[in-house]
Amino acid sequence: MNNPFHSVGQNALRLGLAEKVRGEARYTSDLKRPGLLYGKILRSPHPHARISAIDVSAAQNAPGVHAVLTHLDVPENSIDADLKVLDPVVRFVGDEVAVVAAENPPAAEDALRLIRVEYDILPAVYDAAQALADDAPSVHAEGNLVDGEKLVVSRGDVAAGFAAAARIFTGTFSTQVHGPVGMETRSALAEWDGDRLTVWKTSRSLHTHDRQTLARVLGVPLERVRVICTNMGGGFGNKDEGRLAVLVALLARKAGRPVRLDYGRAEEFLGGRNRQSTRNRIRIGIAEDGAPQAIELTTVMNAGAYVSSGRNVTRRVGQGALYLYTCPHARFEGATVYTNRPAGGSFRGLGAPLGHFALEVLVDQIAESLQVDPLEYRLRFHVPLEGQPGQRVTPPDQMLPDEPVEGGVPFSSNGLRDCLLAGAERIGWREKRRPNGTMDGPRRRGLGLAMGIYKGGVGREAQAEVSLNPTGRVEVRVGIVDVGQGSTTVLAQIAAEVLQVPLDRVDMIMADTALTPPGHITAGSTTTFSSGSAVKLAAQNARNKLSERAAAMMDVTDVVLEEGQFLARNRARPGLSVLQVMEGLPGSSVGRAELKAGSSDYIINSFAAHFVEVEVEMDTGRLRILRYVAAHDSGRIINPRLAENQVSGAVLQFLGIALREELYLDERSGVTLNPSFLEHKSTSIVDFPPVEVIFPAGPDPIGPFGAKALGEPPVVPVLGAVANAVANASGVWLYEAPFTPRRVLQAIHEQGSARS
């Protein structure tokens, strides 16, 4: 791609990486304060119980113990509608019962063993469908269906669409629970100075979630609460719930000393927030020529004990079915259900990869049935730039949502076709792919593909400040957290581009509520789009002030900025460099921006097409990934090297999830059986070949410098692509992820005889 920019589009080195390699970068659990105490959490051994008595006297009197808190000691204010600070009812094995703070971690652990708890055991339910039965135990008093109703969104009239369809295809697809597993576990450190509170936390939402929650629950004025995230050891859309910060703040207040509490790895799997299991039933009705006429996806999502951000997860299951293929009638129905499993939450891609799995495998089954190459089918029927048929519903002056349902609105850009063609070319689809199930022998190879559509990053209130200093340094202040994806670097590049200064002149100040304007949660792949737009506008406002200064210094009425030089518009005089003008400033000059980036004319979405070659061992059910090509339309790529790393990492992360990651729960005890790296096995460095990442699409007309969302889209097509490749190799369809050898072998046994 032709790059007209000096900083945007360049492979700038990741800011802060050298400090991380040297071990100098401090994460929350690396921090210490004078007089620091260590917190530990007592967790429930029961899946559902009411605490009838609790005695902490022995723990309180143990040497080195400074504070113990139970549900009897905490404020009444809830963290979320369904989550108290501490609750006399525990709802999963691992739910929080009490917390202690002591001189060192072993002393805190010893104190936990001295707390005496009597429980009245309540009946538990683990399966979402069972939890919806009339006689099921109630996980929460309001009932097990979250919000008391299913989420339904639709376009057109699916009943009419199915009635008119020439053929109808159906399938039911399941996905299991797995953990986000950031390498850094959750941690928080709280320190009071009088009635002022500072909390350092593994948080991806310190302005909009943690600071607000702390102030509200503790009854402290917002301006006296400061929240900081120094570095985040992996966010992945996780680490946003508020209970930990509140508990640590309460411990610190009671002890009169700062307290830090770090989750252990098993706690992270239990008390963190995992991806929910889902059961997804999909129906697609097609016309004689194969064109989809009606698509309906119904999901039941097992939210676990607390819903956290689960509503959004459910909604996102439907995105592909509602919008990836041109179709006049589409409907999504989602039930989010409480059970006595550990709480679900949000994890990279939310429900989208789960819904796409169902959609993309059923589409391959349609193509096979029509004897059409699945690439050709997608090239013919994928949603085009013009969007879906139908009538716009959003009022004309309102911003269009980037989780679209309605028809009659175009995309700002749509690179699906570019991704399909470039990815197919790269993997050699047209030369190599043979019809499904035509391979033989004990090891069979096949090619598969799947597409993805995802939020473009629209919709968050974003603010930024850009200060130009006489020292020649540029300070950019944004309230968001770099969760590890590299937003510090990308936002610095955007500022450097607008101001036409070298990147090493830019200092990024982020993730501290005392030093930055309010920032949005780092979620929905929105940072480059939303905060990037805010940084761009703030930098433009700062540049305008600098232009005035330059004009005054040059004694002309108007200047232009070209290649880092202010020039008189008539070029009559020698120019001044940006740095020269900055050094002539009497003080700091600040540009600010506050906006909600998006469009009232266009839907802004990101797109992807993934291609994979697999080998299936027919006797063992083992899968090997031989090649993986990920083609992405995320508009203009601000930093190709970081973007390739992010896409490659997302695909590798999700290949592990596709092939083996699953948290098993014993339904007699409610105990999670494998909360460790060894048994919930993440992708290792020797598992998969290098991912081939390509960005074949052009810039978006609306995003900052043409950029769209990137962080989550690469996980969206993975399950479908792998399942379709397995079907191509073996002739066997997979309906449940992860695709463990047991499940693959079972599918071979069940379907194999019918095929051969």
CA–CA separation, 205 and 502 (whole Å): 30
Contact 181, 680 (CB under 8 A): yes
- SS3 of 537, please? helix
Stated as kind and residue range, the H or E segment containing 292 is: strand 292-304
Residue 25 engages other proteins in binding (rule: CB under 8 A) = yes
Interface with other proteins by CB under 8 A: which range of 141-149, 215-223, 479-487, 563-571? Answer: 479-487
Q: How far is the CB of 691 from other proteins (least distance, A)?
A: 7
Q: How far is the CB of 570 from other proteins (least distance, A)?
A: 44
What are the CA-CA distances from residue 582 to residues 7, 505, 542 (Å)? Answer: 19, 11, 11
Residue 4 engages other proteins in binding (rule: CB under 8 A) = no
CB nearer to other proteins: give 82 or 262.
262
Contacts of the segment 58-61: beta carbons below 8 A, 24+ positions apart: 58/114, 58/115, 58/116, 59/100, 59/111, 59/112, 59/114, 59/115
Contact 183, 234 (CB under 8 A): yes
For 702, the token pair is: 């609306």
Applying CB under 8 A, among 646, 672, 724, 751 the residue interacting with other proteins is 646
Applying CB under 8 A, among 4, 63, 396, 587 the residue interacting with other proteins is 63
CA–CA separation, 198 and 249 (whole Å): 9
Q: How far is the CB of 642 from other proteins (least distance, A)?
A: 6
For 237, the token pair is: 């859309």
Q: How far is the CB of 496 from other proteins (least distance, A)?
A: 18
Q: How far is the CB of 265 from other proteins (least distance, A)?
A: 5
Stated as kind and residue range, the H or E segment containing 405 is: none
CB nearer to other proteins: give 21 or 754.
21
CA–CA separation, 52 and 49 (whole Å): 9
Number of other CB atoms surrounding residue 230 within 10 Å:
17
Applying CB under 8 A, among 24, 386, 563, 601 the residue interacting with other proteins is 24
Residue 262 engages other proteins in binding (rule: CB under 8 A) = yes
CB nearer to other proteins: give 211 or 680.
680
CB nearer to other proteins: give 452 or 484.
484
Rg (CA), the chain: 27
Interface with other proteins by CB under 8 A: which range of 87-95, 429-437, 482-490, 512-520? Answer: 482-490
Q: How far is the CB of 417 from other proteins (least distance, A)?
A: 27
CA end-to-end span of the chain: 48
Residue 88 engages other proteins in binding (rule: CB under 8 A) = no
Applying CB under 8 A, among 7, 8, 30, 411 the residue interacting with other proteins is 30
Applying CB under 8 A, among 584, 649, 698, 752 the residue interacting with other proteins is 649
Residue 426 engages other proteins in binding (rule: CB under 8 A) = no
Convert 309-345 to b/e letters by CB count within 10 Å (16 or more is b).
bbbbbbbbbbbbbbbbbbbbbbbbbbbbbbbbbbbbb
Residue 170 engages other proteins in binding (rule: CB under 8 A) = no
CB nearer to other proteins: give 251 or 652.
652
Q: How many residues does the chain have?
A: 756
Q: How far is the CB of 102 from other proteins (least distance, A)?
A: 11
Interface with other proteins by CB under 8 A: which range of 12-20, 125-133, 247-255, 552-560? Answer: 12-20
Applying CB under 8 A, among 144, 176, 485, 516 the residue interacting with other proteins is 485
Q: How far is the CB of 21 from other proteins (least distance, A)?
A: 5
CB nearer to other proteins: give 248 or 727.
248
CA–CA separation, 316 and 136 (whole Å): 27
Residue 645 engages other proteins in binding (rule: CB under 8 A) = yes
Is the Cα torsion angle 353, 356, 362, 366 positive or negative in sign?
negative
Q: Which residue has the tokens 């929650």?
A: 213
DSSP string, 39-97: EEEEE-SSSSEEEEEEE-HHHHHSTTEEEEE-TTSS-S--SBTTB-SS-SEE-STT-EE
CB nearer to other proteins: give 104 or 557.
104
Alpha helices (runs of H) in 500-562, residue ranges in sequence order: 532-554
Q: How far is the CB of 209 from other proteins (least distance, A)?
A: 19
What are the CA-CA distances from residue 469 to residues 318, 493, 582, 637 (Å)? Answer: 48, 18, 6, 29
Q: How far is the CB of 664 from other proteins (least distance, A)?
A: 17
Alpha helices (runs of H) in 555-698, residue ranges in sequence order: 578-583, 640-659
Residues 180-239 within binding reach of other proteins (CB under 8 A): 180-185, 231-236
Residue 240 engages other proteins in binding (rule: CB under 8 A) = no
CB nearer to other proteins: give 217 or 630.
630
Number of other CB atoms surrounding residue 540 within 10 Å:
15
Amino acid at 733: W
Applying CB under 8 A, among 264, 390, 584, 741 the residue interacting with other proteins is 264
Residue 39 engages other proteins in binding (rule: CB under 8 A) = no
Q: Which residue has the tokens 């006399």?
A: 88
Alpha helices (runs of H) in 221-290, residue ranges in sequence order: 243-255, 265-271
Residue 502 engages other proteins in binding (rule: CB under 8 A) = no
Residue 26 engages other proteins in binding (rule: CB under 8 A) = yes
Interface with other proteins by CB under 8 A: which range of 56-64, 131-139, 431-439, 738-746? Answer: 56-64
Interface with other proteins by CB under 8 A: which range of 149-157, 422-430, 652-660, 701-709? Answer: 652-660
Residue 347 engages other proteins in binding (rule: CB under 8 A) = no
Q: How far is the CB of 683 from other proteins (least distance, A)?
A: 6
Residue 653 engages other proteins in binding (rule: CB under 8 A) = yes
Interface with other proteins by CB under 8 A: which range of 61-69, 188-196, 329-337, 630-638? Answer: 61-69
Counting residues that bind other proteins (by CB under 8 A) gives: 67
Question: Which residues, 6 or more positions from 30, have their beta carbon under 8 angstroms from its beta carbon?
Answer: none
CB nearer to other proteins: give 510 or 691.
691
Stated as kind and residue range, the H or E segment containing 743 is: helix 741-755
DSSP state of 148: G
CB nearer to other proteins: give 564 or 649.
649
Max Cα–Cα distance, the chain, nearest Å: 87
Number of other CB atoms surrounding residue 586 within 10 Å:
7
x/- contact string, 670-709, with other proteins (CB under 8 A)? Answer: ------xxx---xxxxx---xx------------------
Give counts: helices (H), strands (E), the chain.
20, 29
Strand order in the sheet with 589-596: 506-510, 474-478, 461-468, 589-596
By the criterion CB under 8 A, which residues form the site for other proteins? 13-14, 16-18, 20-27, 29-30, 32, 58, 62-64, 104-106, 110-111, 113-114, 180-185, 231-236, 262, 264-265, 483-486, 641-642, 645-646, 648-653, 656, 676-678, 682-686, 690-691
